[in-house]
Chain A
Amino acid sequence: MDKLIADLKEQIIEQLNLQDVKPEDIGDDQSLFGDGLGLDSIDALELIVLLQQKYKVKLSNAEDGPKIFRSVRTIAEFIESNKIPNA
């Protein structure tokens, strides 16, 4: 899980082109939207694409989005519980 969280932080920074943000600046449980990292709805779409591309994990129910994308840890947990074996 720790490795996945570390990878996700790097991938989020790269995919969203977060300027002057380093992986260590993002807390595992830090809120990604609103007052936390300040991401918005376009970033949410980018994150959905990221999960699909890198981890072959699809978000089937949009209403689950806020819960899944609350923090890097919740994203990692979602990936762990939904990844296809050997994908």
Chain B
Amino acid sequence: MYIRAASNISPQNTFGNQPLLQELAEYTGDRLSCIEPDYKALIDPKLIRRMSRIIKMGVAAGMDCLHQAGIQIPDAIITGTAYGCLEDTNTFLSKMVQQNEEALAPTAFIQSTHNTISAQIALLLQCHQYNNTFVNGGASFENALLDAMMLLYEGEASNVLVGGIDEITNNSHAILKRIGLYRSQPVSNFELFNTPGKGTMAGEGSAFFMLSKDASDADWAKIDGVSSFYKPRNTAEIKQQISIFLQSQNTNVHEIDLVITGNNGDLRNDALYGQLQQYDFANVPAINYKALCGEYPTSSAFAMWLAAHEIKNGTCSFVPESEEIPLKKVLIYNHYENIHHSLILLSAC
């Protein structure tokens, strides 16, 4: 399947028609927040008033993606999100407590469901086609991608809008920090990998892709395959999964021009990548993308946007020694909390 267009709202300047990450945004602390566009230029103000931040981020990226692809009504809309619309959920639950479960306003409740974003895009487009949302922790985006792939391969759809979205709220950040996900001492995202410790930096984002069955001149990249696996027992099993995946795509590690990995500066998290980078990917240029977007369950959508962008540009701008090497194959390997692991292989068209 082919990536016809992509749109990304992230903690970096990624939205709109601008050069790939020319000026990187620095964050100090334990949290990277999205740089949001002016939504009034993208969404009808009458509709914006009911949308919480994550809904605006999702709808804007989805609509921008459709606009770029020149597609008015997609054959399917599929999203992946681990936490869904947390801000609305928080508003709704807080009011339930404050008002003793009496006279509850409907909007936050209606908008709090995980599938709100895909539904809002469909409502805006009056799109009555297939609409689905996958909520499966760190594999949510990958599940959405697999669903799109099956629809395209089985001929059920010719073009599918797929997105991965998650937000941080003050409450979710406080809870996840309490269970040790984030750094206790402030750190700069630019120094995240130079000061390894316990915990990482929180992140969020909304990345959408217009995927098509047939190739066109406008394609950014081709998605060769997606694979996910759950709670591997050890590094040997991870290596085996990578090997099986690459074999199934009729390729091997020597043909990979760039690997994008999910290192996040947390010693517990990065040990797995370290072993792979030291041996299996020793000679492959690598990008650790989470210094750009932070850690969140659907961050692999950011990684796929980055990979597609690099392939579209033709060279790897982030690894100086590789600037001259034309990018043909890019492998994304990410895991979230060592629970959900995923592999996505992209190639030049």
Residues of A with Cβ closer than 8 Å to B? 15-20, 38, 42, 45-46, 49, 52-53
Contact = CB atoms under 8 A, between A and B. Distances in A.
Nearest to A40: B46
A45 B45 CA distance: 20
State the 6 A-B residue pairs at the shortest beta-carbon distance, nearest first. A17-B49, A52-B103, A45-B106, A49-B105, A19-B45, A19-B49
17 contacts: A15-B105, A17-B49, A17-B50, A19-B45, A19-B46, A19-B49, A42-B106, A42-B110, A45-B105, A45-B106, A46-B105, A49-B103, A49-B104, A49-B105, A49-B106, A53-B99, A53-B103
A38 B105 contact: no
A16 B49 contact: yes
Interface string B99-132: 1001111110010000000000000000000000
Contacts of B104: 49
A17 B55 CA distance: 15
Contacts of A38: 46
A20 B46 CA distance: 10
Contacts of A20: 45
Interface in B38-59: 40, 45-46, 48-50
Interface residues of B, number: 14
A42 B108 CA distance: 11
Nearest to B103: A52
B290 to A, nearest CB: 34
Contacts of B49: 16-19
Interface of B: 40, 45-46, 48-50, 99, 102-107, 110
A45 B110 CA distance: 12
Contacts of B106: 42, 45-46, 49
A34 to B, nearest CB: 13
Contacts of A16: 49
Nearest to B45: A19
A45 B50 CA distance: 13
Contacts of A15: 105
A38 B45 CA distance: 12
A15 B91 CA distance: 13
Contacts of A19: 40, 45-46, 48-49
Given A49-B103, A49-B104, A49-B106, A42 B50 contact: yes
B108 to A, nearest CB: 10
Contacts of B103: 49, 52-53
Contact of A46 (B45, B48, B107): B107
Contacts of A17: 49-50
A67 B343 CA distance: 59
A17 B107 CA distance: 11
Nearest to A38: B46
Contacts of A52: 102-103
A67 to B, nearest CB: 21
Contacts of A53: 99, 103
B320 to A, nearest CB: 46
Contacts of A42: 50, 106-107, 110
Contacts of B110: 42
A77 to B, nearest CB: 21
Contacts of B99: 53
A53 B49 CA distance: 21
A61 to B, nearest CB: 18
Nearest to A47: B105
